[in-house]
Amino acid sequence: TPDSWVKRNAELIRLTGKHPFNCEAPLTSLYNAGFLTPAHLHFVRNHGAVPHVLKDVADNWKIRIHGLVKEEVALSITDLRRLFTVVTLPVTLVCAGNRRKEQNVVRKSLGFNWGSAGVSTALWTGVYLADVLSYVGADRRRAKHVIFEGGDSLPNGPYGTSERYSWASSKEKGMLIAWAMNGLPLEPDHGFPVRIIIPGQIGGRSVKWLKSIEVSVSESQHHLHYFDNRILPIQLSPEQARAEKQWWYDSRYLINELNVNSAIAKPAHGEELRVISLDAIYELRGYAYSGGGRRITRVEVSLDDGRTWKLSEIVYPEDSYRDIVHSDDTYGVLDLTERDTCFCWCFWSFNVPVQDLTEASCLTLRAMDESGNMQPRDMYTNATSMINNWWFRVAIVKCK
C-alpha cells in the first residue's frame, strides 16, 4: 500500500481493510491507557494515503495564510514558534463516526463500522489560530469562515473543510495550529508536520498535514466538506443519499459540535466474568464526553433497561490541569487557570453488587451535560450514521 513506510501498532483494529488506514484501539486498551492516549493507541481516520514528509521537507513546510487578510504570508513551524506564544492544551478528538457500528447492525449506512474507541485524548502543542488570524490582519467585518486544506491528495482534490470565523478567531475556543502530540512531533498518521486542532468539535474539522488557511466569506468548497460529516434527514435511504446529491449541500445538515456521549469500557462486550461470590462488588467503568466545551454533569447506569437509573461517580482528569501553570520549551505554556470549558473526556465508575449483575440482562448507560442534553433512548438512524449517541448497552449473558 502507499503507506507501507508508516510504522503502526499491530494491536490497532483496522476498520477499512488495507487502505486507507482507519483504526481504533481495543476499547479496553484505550480505557486502561488513562486520560492521555499514547499516540500508538490514538484512533486514526485517513481518507487517503499519508503524505510522506521527510525531515528536511518538514523544516521547510509552509502554511499559506491568505484570503481576506491584510498581508498574505507563508509561515513555517519555526516562524510560528518565533512569532506567537506556544501553548499546550489537553483535547479529546472524536471521529463523528464513533459508535457507528451499532447503527450499521440495524441498517447499513454509508459509513464504516467504528466501535466505541473512535475517541482519544492528547496534549496538543502549537499556537492559537486566533493569534495568527490577528497577526495577518484578517478582515473581521467580512470574514465568515476560515478554510483549511491538507496536503493529502485524494481522488476529488485535497482534504479540506472550514470553521466559522467567530470560532476560529476566539482564543476561548482553543483552536490550535499544532505540531506536537504528548510532547513529541506528530506521527505521520496524525498530521506530521502540522495540523489543526479544534476542541469540542468533530474530528473531521481538525485538518492534518495542513498546507493552507484561507479567510473567506464562504465556507469550504472541498469535496469532503460536503460529502462527509453531515447528518442527513432520516427518510433518506443511503442509496437516495448517494444519488440525490443536493441534500449534502444544505448547511442545516453540517455537524460541528460534538454531542453528549458515553460508553462502558468495563466490562467489555463479550467479556467473561467469573462469579466467585455474590456478595462481591463489581466496578463498572467507562468514559463520557460532550461538545462545544460543555461539561458532563451526570452519568447514569440502569440494570433494568432504562426503567430505573442510578448515578455513577465522575472523575474529570482535565481539572487537575486547571491548577497548574507549566511552561517549558517543549510544551510552551500549559495554563488552563482561566478556562472553564471542558475539552476532554471524563471517566465514570459505578459499584454494583455481583448479585444484581447476575439478575440483570443488560447494562445500560446514559450521560447528561451541563446544558441538560441527554443521550437519547433511540437511535437516529440516517444515511451517514454520524455522532450516534443513543444509550450505550452491554448485554449480560449467563453461562452455565
**Active-site annotation, residues:** 95, 228-229
- Cβ contacts of 315 within 8 Å, gap of 6 or more: 346, 347, 348, 349
Q: Is 99 in the site for ligand MTE (CB under 6 A)?
A: no
Which residue in the set 37, 109, 206, 220 belongs to the binding site for ligand MTE (CB under 6 A)?
206
Smallest distance, ligand MTE to C-beta of residue 303, A:
34
Smallest distance, ligand MTE to C-beta of residue 46, A:
5
| Residue 385: all three cell numbers together | 450514521
Q: Is 42 in the site for ligand MTE (CB under 6 A)?
A: yes
Q: Is 173 in the site for ligand MTE (CB under 6 A)?
A: no
Q: Is 312 in the site for ligand MTE (CB under 6 A)?
A: no
Which residue in the set 37, 46, 297, 312 belongs to the binding site for ligand MTE (CB under 6 A)?
46
Return d(Cα 307, Cα 319) in angstroms, integer.
Answer: 33
Residue 385 backbone dihedrals phi, psi, to 5 degrees: 50, 50
Return d(Cα 264, Cα 112) in angstroms, integer.
Answer: 21
Nearer to ligand MTE, 196 or 299 (CB): 196
10 burial via Cβ count (<10 Å: 0-12, 13-18, 19+): exposed
Q: Is 181 helix (H, G, I), strand (E, B) or coil?
A: strand
Residue type at 244 in one-letter notation: E
Nearer to ligand MTE, 225 or 298 (CB): 225
Q: Is 203 in the site for ligand MTE (CB under 6 A)?
A: yes
Smallest distance, ligand MTE to C-beta of residue 152, A:
5
Q: Which stretch binds ligand MTE (CB under 6 A): 53-61, 206-214, 271-279, 333-341?
A: 206-214
> CB of 249 within 8 A of CB of 183?
no
Write the DSSP symbol of residue 24. E
Nearer to ligand MTE, 33 or 352 (CB): 33
Return d(Cα 34, Cα 36) in angstroms, integer.
Answer: 6
- Cβ contacts of 191 within 8 Å, gap of 6 or more: 150, 178, 207, 208, 209, 210
Q: What share of the chain is helix, strand, coil (3-state, %, to 5)?
A: 20, 35, 45
Smallest distance, ligand MTE to C-beta of residue 120, A:
6
Binding flags for ligand MTE, 323-362, as an x/- string (CB under 6 A): ----------------------------------------
Which residue in the set 31, 35, 43, 165 belongs to the binding site for ligand MTE (CB under 6 A)?
43
Nearer to ligand MTE, 95 or 303 (CB): 95
Sign of the alpha-carbon dihedral angle for 181, 186, 191, 192? positive
Binding flags for ligand MTE, 267-296, as an x/- string (CB under 6 A): ------------------------------
Smallest distance, ligand MTE to C-beta of residue 96, A:
7
Nearer to ligand MTE, 44 or 254 (CB): 44
Nearer to ligand MTE, 37 or 364 (CB): 37
Smallest distance, ligand MTE to C-beta of residue 236, A:
21
Nearer to ligand MTE, 199 or 267 (CB): 199
Nearer to ligand MTE, 207 or 301 (CB): 207
Q: Is 98 in the site for ligand MTE (CB under 6 A)?
A: no
Q: If we measure between CA atoms, which residue out of 113, 90, 376 comes closest to residue 259?
A: 376
Return d(Cα 23, Cα 273) in angstroms, integer.
Answer: 27
Which residue in the set 90, 199, 200, 204 belongs to the binding site for ligand MTE (CB under 6 A)?
204
Site size toward ligand MTE (CB under 6 A) is: 19
How far CA 332 is from CA of 35, 79, 184, 299, 344, in Å, comes to 20, 15, 13, 34, 20
Sign of the alpha-carbon dihedral angle for 248, 162, 70, 139? positive
- DSSP letter string, 30-95: HHHT-SSPPGGGS-EE-SSPPP---HHHHHT--EEEEESBSS-EEE-HHHHHHHS-EEEEEEEEE-
Q: Is 190 helix (H, G, I), strand (E, B) or coil?
A: helix
Which residue in the set 209, 345, 348, 392 belongs to the binding site for ligand MTE (CB under 6 A)?
209
Which residue in the set 27, 44, 197, 288 belongs to the binding site for ligand MTE (CB under 6 A)?
44
Give me the residues that bind ligand MTE (CB under 6 A), please.
Answer: 42-47, 93, 95, 150, 152, 159, 189-190, 203-204, 206-209
